[in-house]
Structure 1
Amino acid sequence: MMGAVLEQGDTLATAIPGVLSVAINYGNPILAYRDAKGSPAGVSVDLARRIADELGLACQLMTFDAAKDATAAVGNGACDLGFFAADPARADKVAFTRPYLAIQGNYLVREHSTYLCNEDVDQSGVLIGVGRGSAYDLFLTRTIRKATLMRESTSPEVVDTFLRLGLDVAAGVRGQLEADAARIGGLRLIEPYFMLIEQALGIPKALEAKLINRLDHIISRSLADGFFAEALVRHGVEGAALMAAKSE
């Protein structure tokens, strides 16, 4: 198991010397995916490697299919770093940096559905498919009053489950829903989005005092120098907005 990162002057070391263990979540295809060789790729992978390089450490990627599993690995110290939505339900064990990216969370329905706006969805008897433990699952758990959430194991499976089980609505990140709608046909997004999912870096709570400021600095510089913008273009990411760079 990867241990805590310790500060030693201007250098950092892990319990396994020289290695930063990073959780990569395939459940958010905006940030991570498997390339043609089955290896992890995406914005979060690029940023993980940049951070490890900045800290003078090798980068070890540990992959997960769902946000809840990646978050748990960081929260219990099995990984030193991860990429998550900064949701308060995760804040007891995970400390978050400043956000760097905002992703839209939308509802998807069948083309001829009578649900035309977000308010139409929260009605008694409506079944909403969500990815278990995802940022929008946590958000909807707090905000939905009448409809019922049907939790699928991972976010990329939500639309297929929505169709297979005859659910009324699928909830997810806009990019994934748009890709599924194009693949399947006969589906449409409800506009506007029901939430903005702010993406941040997450580290074990015990490391907050030692690492947050340094990671915030790396994020700010990566926004200012075009690193994030170039990564979004390189990986064909749409439906996500970069946060404003802050002067330091």
Structure 2
Amino acid sequence: MNQVNPALLSSFAPTGILRVGINLGNPLLASLDGDTGNPKGIAVDIANHIASKLQLPILFTCYPMAGATVEAVKSGEVDLVFVAIDPVRGADISYTPAYIQIEGAYMVKDSSPLQQNEDVDAPGNEIVVGKGSAYDLYLTREIKQASLLRSANSQAVVDDFMSGVGNVAAGVKQQLESDAQRYEGLRLLPGRFMVINQAIGIPKARVDFEKTNAYLSTEIEALKASGFIAEAMQRHQVQGAKVAE
């Protein structure tokens, strides 16, 4: 713990416990263990590693979607979160460098005339997206002619889409592929419409948040360089994503 002085540690975890917000809206990063009910995944592994280095007890709080996770860290309910880097969130949250990159993709029904990502932003198209997700924030900025329809969370997107909501589903490519296995007559548009950089976020409202971010950033870079992130991806069978450069 000699890398972090007591004042910084107090700012980092003011309750003496490292309180970590886990976003269950992105199953590539975290999910609940079916046997124990505890969170598991890459984000959990990183958080446990940091808590161990700081010799702090850890407390995980799980949220159903990214928006709720972000609000929790902004309000001081948790000390750090694992979410996508986004400039809107960045007004209140300081990010480390990305530790993993994930692709955002569009899904349509086989009968759809849409063939390319560039076809989606056109009058009359309705894109279903998880409310408050990185894709929602990105598409809100970028989509000019199509409409956005927001599901309760990312996991509900394909079910809503198949119930008749919208004509395009947007989300994490791997999650769309997984959800599509429960239905027939769906296809992904080739390529991706965005790359999502996942990072640790801490509240800018904290004293010395810059120093805390610098410490966490050093840890993230070390975990990438050592192979920790790549090994965690393999252990948790994460496919279609890559360790951030």
Under a length normalisation based on structure 2, what TM-score does the superposition of the two structures give? Answer: 0.93
**Post-superposition offset of 1:8:** 1.4
What residue in structure 2 maps to residue 235 of structure 1? 236
Give, in angstroms, the shift of residue 225 of structure 1: 1.1
In the alignment, what sits opposite 2:56? 57
Deviates more, 1:135-144 or 1:117-126: 117-126
- Answer 1 or 2: which has greater strand percent: 1
The answer (yes or no) to whether the contact 2:8–2:211 under 8 Å persists in 1 is no
Residue type at the aligned position of 2:237: G
Partner of 1:181: 180
Aligned to 2:6: 8
TM superposition shift of 1:193: 0.2
Equivalence for 1:225:
226
What 5-or-longer segments of structure 2 have no aligned partner?
A: none
CA distance in 2, matches of 1:175, 1:49: 25
| Equivalences, count | 238
2:39 alignment partner in structure 1? 40
Cα distance change, pair 183–168 in 1 and its aligned pair in 2 (3 A): same
Superposed displacement of residue 11, structure 1: 5.1
Question: Is residue 25 from structure 1 mapped to residue 19 from structure 2 by the alignment?
Answer: no
Listed as ranges, the matches of 1:206-225 within 5 Å are: 206-207=205-206, 208-225=209-226
Q: CA deviation at 1:10?
A: 7.8
Pairwise CA distance, 1:15? 2.9
What's the Cα RMSD here?
1.5
Question: Kindly tell me: are residues 127 and 213 of structure 1, through their superposed partners in 2, closer, same or farther at Cα, counting changes over 3 Å?
Answer: same
Separation in 2, partners of 1:15, 1:88: 26
TM-score (norm 1): 0.92
Distance, in Å, in 2 between the alignment partners of 1:78 and 1:34 is: 20
Q: Secondary structure at the match of 1:102?
A: strand
SS of 1:201's equivalent in the other structure is: strand
- SS for the counterpart of 1:137 is helix
C-alpha separation between the residues in 1 aligned to 2:9 and 2:159? 47
Distance 1:11 1:147 in 2: 47
Secondary structure of the 1:175 match is helix
Which residue of the partner structure matches residue 127 of structure 1?
126
The separation in 1 between residues aligned to 2:86 and 2:104, in whole angstroms, is 14
8 Å contact 1:76–1:93 — kept in the other structure?
no
What are structure 1's unaligned runs of at least 5 residues? Answer: 1-5
Matched-pair contact (CA < 8 Å) for 1:11–1:56: no
What does 1:88-99 correspond to in 2, within 5 Å? 88-99=87-98
Relative distance call for 1:116 and 1:210 in structure 2 (3 A) is same
Structure 2 residue identity aligned to 1:112: S
Deviation (angstroms), 1:164: 0.7
- 1:200 paired with 2:199, answer yes
Letter in 1 for 2:221: S
